[in-house]
Amino acid sequence: MTEVSSLTGRLLVATPALADPNFDRAVVLLLDHDEEGSLGVVLNRPTPVGVRDILGSWAGLTGEPDVVFQGGPVSLDSALGVAVIPGDEGPLGWRQVHGAIGLVDLETPPELLGPALGSLRIFAGYAGWGPGQLEGELGEGAWYVVESEPGDVSSPRPENLWRAVLRRQRSELAMIATYPDDPSLN
């Protein structure tokens, strides 16, 4: 088995050629990536469902928009919390993924975590890949892999995240941000 270089904490940005409608212009934060597979959440798929309607006790701690995000097509009946914690150490109930970004144990009483949270997003479902599956998609050119920033998790305008992440790249990827939604209309 070949060694897998971990992409945990990085972003997968869908290429315009990616045909899967679940990931059209998606920006995925990889929460876990190793030889057993990969797991991430789509950062730019807000739903119309308010956090208050699903996890009321966490509603006051989420940023705008205060809605549940569709984290991916897998296990839509489960919830994941992703938070940014300012400082060097996170509190009990938070597991670091990369830098200041980490997973929140939603079973932890919110009042214990609330004072430490810089931002929080709630995701229904996740994106998952089996062993070697993501590497295959990367080899086919389905995704760009770029560094994440803590602000990606809590972007107040998630509908603009795909373009914003590409635009900040210091390479030819910045030009992809101007790629039209439907090139046949040009």
Give the model's pLDDT for residue 173: 86
Backbone dihedral region of 43: left (phi > 0), alpha (psi from -120 to 50 degrees) or beta?
alpha
Long-range CB contacts for residues 179-184, cutoff 8 Å, separation at least 24: 179/16, 181/25, 183/16
Contacts of 166 (CB under 8 A, 6+ apart): 13, 144, 173, 174, 176, 177
Give the pLDDT band of residue 122 (cuts 50, 70, 90): very high
Give the closest residue to 53 by CA, choosing from 63, 65, 66: 66
Overall average pLDDT of the 159-165 stretch? 96
The identity of residue 78, as a single letter, is: S
Give the model's pLDDT for residue 185: 53
Overall average pLDDT of the 97-110 stretch? 94
Q: How far apart are the first and last CA of the chain?
A: 46
Q: What is the pTM of this model?
A: 0.92
